[in-house]
Structure 1
Amino acid sequence: MFKKILIANRGEIAIRVMRTCKQMGIKTVAVYSEADAEALHVKYADEAFLLGPPRVNESYLKVDKIIEIAKQTGAEAIHPGYGLLSENANFARECQKAGLTFIGPSPEVIESMGSKIEARKTMEQANVPIVPGGNEPLVDTDEAASKARDMGFPVMLKASSGGGGIGMQIVQNEEELVKAFASNQKRAQDFFGDGAMYLEKYISNPRHIEIQVLADKEGNTVYLWERECSIQRRHQKVVEEAPSPFLDDETRRKMGEAAVRAAKEIGYVNAGTIEFLVDETKNFYFLEMNTRLQVEHPVTEEITGLDLVEQQLKIAYGELLSFKQEDVRLEGHAIEVRIYAEDPVRFFPSPGQIKAFILPEGENVRNETGVDETSKVTPFYDPMIAKLIVKGSNRSNAIQELQKALAQYHVEGIKTNIPMLQRVAEHEAFLNGDTTTSFVEKYLK
């Protein structure tokens, strides 16, 4: 097994990866920006090195600097976490060139799934259902309008690259489409360096359900059930749970098998997630593949008993999966909510000095956090500061644990989205499992 790993990330995910490394006897190297000099992940690691100024393009995205530190410290591998460089094919390639193991799939696989258009084509080849739409980039607004008329409004205008809802917009008519095309194309170009746009048929009131997969170097591939991530705000996930309250066993099996076909089609190795849209009659359609560890991976760990970071490390080291599909258990129900430093009404980021940070406790409560009562939340990074995960013997019990844990959560000095999460946890629609992607717009306005 690796003796030393550099974690090319920050915050709660850096600490999460380090925790498993420590349990496995692996030394860890942290990297940080000037703004993160006193951050918890810096203190938690065995070694820590400054990357540069606060902005990510001057610190956490500095590929050459990160690789230089890895080599300097004798690290054998780099774990990218999620976000930042985690789905950057060039970073994975530069790691290989430097003789370092990138803990994730190959650069070629990252590239193949990085373009949503190319991913759609690949999934068709793997006999995985895709949302009706175009498989070629749109030339201009005239072509977009023509294709939308043929498809029938409403449609979803989407950027081929990136994620997080950037470059994505539902359009109800041709006038809206013309207005949306240029602005979304510019955003995609600015954020991802790729302004390619395409159209998909808009599926009304869908569920966002994803399948976690693990695959080793010999092609042994398993699915670890599903996570429902339908409750979203601005296409960003807010609440995730496993298993989905919507799926029956037959649909669950079909989606899992489709995810395995998808992973095998592209020669996937390591942990990955196939995301699907599921309509009201349980038809499912490929949405995208995330070639990294997901923010919401803890709920899968809670129902399966597996440590996904440990599995990632073993696979990256060359070990084969030690279990088969029939060995994957599904026990209980888990729910995760993301704690953001933001105004719970206007949803603006709320940076500042944390003055109190009291976490809920309990046998069925798990906290993943990148801050404590000494931390300062800066305006330079994503405002997610922690994740709260609860488990119950069934969904009803898990919801009770969630309500209790949220009531115990106490943060002073900054605003958080905890009041919004409490509204979700207590809402009748959530209690009944009515968790479609329109939940926030429908119930929390």
Structure 2
Amino acid sequence: MVLGLLSLSGCSKKEEAKDVELKTISTKDLKAKLEDDSWVIVDTRINDAYNGWKLDGVSRGGHISGAVDFSANWLNVDNKNKEEILDEALKTKGINKDKNIVLYDSNEKDSKSVGSYLSQKGYTNIYTYNVKEWAKDESLAMESYENYDRLVPAEIVKEVVDGKTPETFEGSKNIKIIEASWGEESEAYSKGHVPTSVHINTDTVEPPPNWMLASDEELAKFALDYGFTKDDTIIVTGPDVMASYRVAVILRYIGVNDVRVLNGGNNAWVAAGYELETTSNAPVAGTDFGGKIPGNPDLIVTIPELKEELKSDDSVLVDNRSWEEYIGEVSGYSYHDKKGRIPGAVYGYAGTTSTTLEDYRNIDNTMRNSDEIKDLWDKAGIDINKKLIFMCGSGWRAAEVLTYANVMGYDNSALYSDGWIGWSNNASNPVETGDPAK
């Protein structure tokens, strides 16, 4: 649902937004402005459309080359720091009041919503455009992430639930939807989950009390208990997107060939206007995975392998923890008190705590613009031409960042799953603290 201007700013729903007249721009004029620094082109659609999905009847997926993203969906997020977060997004994307701003969509609603929001903030030179016109002309450049299909929009998941065969699922033999969250029949799962989804307790793939990745034998049993095969297409959902990415990477490691994640998690499902179900769905056990486990062993790096990788000039260890964790001020975990970092690890940004990942997400917990992620890596001195090995405290945050890297096309990447906790549990492993620049 597209909200009015005053509702977006937290005013009473009874109050009505003032209509804002926005100018339109032709395809010819828009094309002429792409290289003009006084203009900024903004994609206001759902982020999945920006990433590459053909939604709302657009003939080509992806975004206009050079466009930034500012989704109308972000305006409806319930977050006490919303205005601060959105102001920072506007600044980062160069959406300034002194520029001419073209807002484009494919439904003639999103642009109006964002235009009203910007007008309230004092923006004046605002134009609108329907990207369907651009997509019709094959000579006009559009960009998509190389592996955009690994992040699935709620609309596409709904088609799967309804028994349809949406875009990029044409070759899928058996599509399964699972919900990843902590705990047996977790409270979150009981409260509501994407219809047909089967609950997976994250303890199953990283058993307590250490919560490290389960052995290959345990993972083989897990695969059979849930009836997974290497030829399945699995969509991972859940209330905590980080848990979804953790389980998704483990499924890929096991050897499932096609694993995807609902972009934005259960909140994206609800935001799209769909209902969660509360009926519990039991897994159906299988007898044959159809291949060796692990089928993709190079996706996860062990401690001995990491030590060899650290000797190579062709690899970089990217530490996706908070800055305070990285320099050794805090451990980040209530059950682990050792502080510091692995020598040679490069700070790769994350969030403010061990359970957040603001640097890689939009306000609605969808994947951040790839150009902005690459800017973070460039700022950190991370060479994207090398093998990227992502790590965090115990593998959750890094699994999400690894997936984003894969979506962007960086397939020469892996997860050091045991993370800082696994490394520091062995007193013989070297440790660094402090700001490496000093």
Q: What is the TM-score normalised by the length of structure 1?
A: 0.28
Structure with a larger share of its residues in strand = 1
Is the radius of gyration larger for structure 1 or structure 2? 2
Q: What is the TM-score normalised by the length of structure 2?
A: 0.28
